[in-house]
A = this chain, B = another copy of it.
Amino acid sequence: MQLPEARRKFIEAWGAFGSAWGISRTMAQVHALLLLATEPLSTDDVMEQLNISRGNANMNLRALIDWGLVSKVLKPGDRKDHFEAEKDVWRIATQITRERKKRELEPMVKLLSELERTEGASNDAKAFRKVTGDLKDLTSRIDAVLERTTRSDVQWFLKAASTLLR
């Protein structure tokens, strides 16, 4: 396969992948574009290469910065902002994991902890507490592990798990 086609395919696939996981298609595509770029791109570059409007490009670039996946870079002699993606896939993975943990897992653990304290002695109430309690244990354990997870931990885990589960 030739580079331009491969590039297009990757951007498209990364967009679809993202949208299956609750990340907007365009945000994922902008991310893919920056991942493949060998040097920082301007807003206009992004607009042009993905055929999106200025507002859209700007919004998604800022969202990516907010997620800690992209950073602004000043190019000497150019007034335009330029944007550069983190290229280390381990850092990308932990960064995404951390953000989602913060945005979705933590609130869920909090809610489940409250719900676990639901009153009532009926079978229904007991069953309710069992389910929410079990879910809370699971989510909070996942949460706790992710809390401590850094690049080297992930590597350690994957290595250990691959070996042990062989």
Instruction: Please list the residues of chain A having a beta carbon within 8 angstroms of any beta carbon in chain B.
Output: 1-3, 6-7, 9-10, 13, 17, 19-22, 35-36, 38, 87, 89-90, 93, 103-104, 108, 111, 114-115, 117-120, 122-125, 127-128, 131-132, 134-135, 137-138, 141-142, 144-145, 148-149, 153, 157-158, 160-162, 165-166
Contacts and interface: CB of A to CB of B under 8 A. Distances in A.
A118 B17 CA distance: 20
A163 B2 CA distance: 48
What 6 A-B pairs are tightest by C-beta distance, nearest first? A148-B165, A6-B118, A89-B134, A145-B161, A141-B158, A20-B22
Nearest to A133: B89
Given A7-B128, A89-B134, A157-B161, 13 more contacts: A2-B119, A6-B115, A6-B118, A9-B115, A10-B132, A13-B111, A21-B104, A35-B131, A89-B137, A144-B162, A148-B166, A153-B161, A153-B165
